Chain A
Amino acid sequence: MSTQIKAQAEPQTLRVRSGDVELAVKVYGDTKQPAKQPVIVLVHGYPDSNHVWNKVVGPLSARYRVVAYDVRGAGESTVPAHTAAYELEHLVADLAAVVDAVSPEQPIHLVAHDWGSIQSWEAVSTERLKGRIASYTSISGPSLDHAGYWVMQRLRSAAPGDIAKVANQLMHSWYIGAFHLPLAAPLAWKLGLDQLWPKLLERFEGIRAESTPTQTSDGRHGVNLYRANVAKRLLSPRERRTSVPVQLVVPTRDRFVSLELLDGLDQWVDQMWRRDVAAGHWLQLSHPELVVRYVSEFVDFIEGGEEPASLHRARVRSGRKPGNDKYAGKLAIVTGGGSGIGRETLLALAEQGAEVVAADIDLAAAQRSAELAELLGATAHARKVDVGDAKAMESFAAWVAKELGAPDIVVNNAGIGMAGNFLDTSTADWEKILHVNLWGVIHGSRLFGKQMVAAGKSGHIVNVASALAFAPSRMLAAYATSKAAVAMLSDCLRAELADQGIRVISVCPGVIDTPITGNTRFVGVSEEEQTRRRDGAKKLYQRRNLKPQAVSAAILKAIDNNRQEVLVGSEAHGARLLSRLSPALSRRLARMELSF
């Protein structure tokens, strides 16, 4: 840590000339052995200056030479008077001047945000910096030319859905129109928007940022970026292709750039990676550690290192079978993934492009599921885990974090069956069923929930409960209790994680024909009677003939449609209805002794 803080504390400052402007450049990191470290150049957006990178330069400069500069019109750099001086070609020339000054030989890694990203698209897709940029990480700023084509293609298609997407983006871009009004924006900055700005950021984006000394000037003059470029490029876009590897880091709650704008981007870019983060526009302020990780992973890979699993998953592959990649780039973990509902859910996710991890107490069964998932074209892993064992789950979660990165979908499915009277259920029986059915869900939700929050994943936690969660029965006290607990846990967790964009789904299947029936323990009866009842139950379940596939299909539908609870089977719907319309009748029915 000490090196990081030191590196951050003492940047070397340079003034770099580009035509008739002078750019303020800060260089962080070990300047004595510059050749040994990859060089990262950070380009800020509007209405910011190089300070916007303050939270990331420290950690990054521990391993790289990090260069942050003020673009023309911002911070300590020259402020040209004419709007025309803000055209993209001048901005690219500025970047080239900085690159020439700080890394005359070694190609640099570009990381850019907002307007910085817009101008960097121009830099990676035009001749001036050809061969000088090794990689490009773009945060929240599309190429104006790509956007121009994007709008044209969608308007030409005349499909209502496409037109709606354009309208949506226009609504995200209201401020661009406002910036074209003479005087308005500069006046606003002069009249105190600069003082208000940190408060606005905190209020709307949830970010704490210090007001910078040049905020007023940055806000006033940066408006020229829009005036000089937006209309021109959107109305007559040029083809902008690049062979520079591009990593898109996409804040999915960006108020200023709609996600649809990125559709079809792969037509312009040879090699592309994409990482979504459930966050607002200023990612380097809200999630600096994520930005550092994503940039480091990408830079290291481009520099010849290994491609970590999470980066590999983030690769945008064009040419997959269309309609078969709904979960491409997503990591899904399924506990109890070796059989029944777990295996089917795992396969259904794998079939749609997800990378999957089958966790099961039966390793061979998990491996078999993984093998089947691979047959469906997915990357798959199998791990032996006792979900109720805190230590085992912690080490499993740590393995996932290290090897694969945080998951997008977690299906806490592992469960065991138990039937019989409450008074016949021993402490050991209770411990056994709660160990798997409840503790398994607690550990899975807790450990992976934390990982998802930290990684800004707007993913899904799917907890498999049961229709018995709301249908009491004297015959199934332990099982129904464990499942009711899962349902309540899910309801509470859903509320807690809603702000993070993580959805929690409780699944309540009815009578599903899975291997669980063959392993259900019947308490308070002899071995022989247990076998007889198991066979009886199995027959009943087979006659009902509701397959695990029905549950997996319902789970996927719930994920796609952001449902909170799914019921599978008419008996589940019936029980739910009864528990609401007439709880008394539901409780009366609970007294019925079912004989298998």
Chain B
Amino acid sequence: MNKATNKGWDPTIADLDGFREAQKLAYRCAEAIADELTPGMTEREAAALMQRWLTANGANDCFHQPFAWFGDRTAFRGFIGFRHFGGFNPAFYPGSRKLEENMPYILDCAPTLNGYTADIGYSGCIGENRILDKLMDDLLEYRLLILDQVRQRKQLSEISQAVDRLCARHGYEPRHKAYPFQVLAHRVEKLEADEKKHRSVLNFGVRNIGKLVSDVAKGRREGWSPLWSSGHASDHAPTPGLWAVEPHLGFRGVGAKWEELLVVTEEDAFWLDDDVPQVRRWASRGLEPLAKAA
């Protein structure tokens, strides 16, 4: 039922349900593991817990295996903040940093369920962290800004630059710039649904990365890029399809992000699911512009 277009595809209702299920699974995983985190646990242990949970709950492939960052690594401070090897920094991988009370953490997982891939980010801490609270509150503005500008069909590079400016106004560092290729977002595509367990290389799912690479090739021919950043490669209108958007803010030694799938159609755009932890958190804190987000 996929409608092929020159720039991508308009997903069917059934497809969107599939992606939504995958995203729900990913967030459930993050919330479940967040509940299990205790001081003293390492990033590697947290990431392994997530991987085990996802496998046990039906995920058989991934865009990337779960990441976990603790403490100032959430803000990509230190080695992790450098860009090496063409934007690929091994310091990204979960390390031996131990979780402490009041320390921020980020859990990031991207499971594939029945051929549908999600990619989510989840921030929190055990205890209290005022800076983290503020970052997470302010992340609401980014969700509003991005959707608003995509709906205006602004160029993706322009939107990413608007995000950069919002960061500057807020006094935050746009830490997604430390991601490979400095992406604010990247495409995810539908895969073949099957029961097999699929391979990852260097923690990245082979099938999903394969799709991304073919998107890159296709995008080159057609004048768009599946890697959404502030650079010239993203000087194009929003391309229909699913985008995993991941604004990541840093202030001093604290970082926070969310990551959600944005559905872009030929004419419109919307967040795949509004029932996600960060939206529930903003609502519970009575943050003002949330009404506009609906």
Contact = CB atoms under 8 A, between A and B. Distances in A.
Interface of A: 339, 343, 347, 351, 365, 368-369, 371-372, 375-376, 515
Interface of B: 130-131, 134, 168-171, 251-252
B171 A351 contact: no
Contacts of B130: 375
Contacts of A351: 252
A369 B170 CA distance: 8
B169 A372 contact: no
Contacts of A339: 168
Contacts of A347: 171, 252
A365 B131 contact: no
A339 B168 CA distance: 8
A454 B164 CA distance: 44
A376 B169 CA distance: 17
A343 B171 contact: yes
A345 to B, nearest CB: 13
Contacts of A372: 171, 251
Given A347-B252, A375-B251, 8 more contacts: A339-B168, A351-B252, A368-B170, A372-B251, A375-B130, A375-B131, A375-B134, A515-B168
Given A375-B130, A375-B131, A375-B134, A365 B169 contact: yes
Contacts of A368: 169-171
A495 to B, nearest CB: 36
Nearest to B171: A372
Nearest to B131: A375
A371 B170 CA distance: 10
A33 B252 CA distance: 58
8 contacts: A343-B171, A365-B169, A368-B170, A369-B171, A371-B134, A372-B251, A375-B134, A375-B251
Residue among B170, B171, B251 with max Cβ neighbours from chain A (10 Å): B171
A369 B169 CA distance: 9
Contacts of B171: 343, 347, 368-369, 372
A166 B254 CA distance: 42
Contacts of B251: 372, 375
A368 B131 CA distance: 14
Contacts of B134: 371, 375
B232 to A, nearest CB: 11
Nearest to A368: B171
A376 B130 CA distance: 9
A212 to B, nearest CB: 57
B289 to A, nearest CB: 16
A348 to B, nearest CB: 10
B72 to A, nearest CB: 14
B252 A376 contact: yes
A351 B253 CA distance: 12
A586 to B, nearest CB: 33
Contacts of B169: 365, 368
A369 B251 CA distance: 12
7 pairs of A and B residues whose beta carbons are closest in the complex: A372-B171, A375-B131, A375-B134, A375-B130, A343-B171, A368-B171, A515-B168
A375 B128 CA distance: 13
B250 to A, nearest CB: 12
A544 B132 CA distance: 30
B251 to A, nearest CB: 7
A375 B131 CA distance: 6
B167 to A, nearest CB: 12
Nearest to B135: A375
A347 B170 CA distance: 13
B118 to A, nearest CB: 32
A291 to B, nearest CB: 39
A368 B172 CA distance: 11
Residue among B130, B169, B170, B251 with max Cβ neighbours from chain A (10 Å): B169
Contacts of B131: 375-376
Contacts of B252: 347, 351, 376
A359 to B, nearest CB: 16
A372 B251 CA distance: 9
Contacts of A376: 131, 252
A335 B54 CA distance: 52
Nearest to B170: A368
Contacts of B168: 339, 515
A216 to B, nearest CB: 62
A138 to B, nearest CB: 36
A286 to B, nearest CB: 42
B172 to A, nearest CB: 9
Contacts of A343: 171
A545 to B, nearest CB: 11
A375 B171 CA distance: 12
A369 B168 CA distance: 11
A371 B130 CA distance: 12
Contacts of B170: 368
B162 to A, nearest CB: 13
A324 to B, nearest CB: 12
A512 to B, nearest CB: 14
Nearest to A376: B252
Nearest to A369: B171
A306 to B, nearest CB: 27
A351 B251 CA distance: 12
A339 B167 CA distance: 11
A124 to B, nearest CB: 38
A372 B130 CA distance: 11
A372 to B, nearest CB: 5
Nearest to B132: A375
Nearest to B133: A375
A368 B141 CA distance: 15
A295 B35 CA distance: 55
A368 B167 CA distance: 12
Contacts of A369: 171
A452 B208 CA distance: 64
A462 to B, nearest CB: 20
Contacts of A365: 169
Nearest to A372: B171
Nearest to A364: B169
A165 B251 CA distance: 39
A376 B129 CA distance: 11
Nearest to A344: B171
A355 B131 CA distance: 18
A375 B251 CA distance: 10
B135 to A, nearest CB: 9
A374 B251 CA distance: 13
A339 B171 CA distance: 8
Residue among A339, A351, A375, A515 with max Cβ neighbours from chain B (10 Å): A375
A373 to B, nearest CB: 10
A339 B252 CA distance: 16
A425 to B, nearest CB: 28
A339 B130 CA distance: 22
A372 B135 CA distance: 10
A313 B230 CA distance: 44
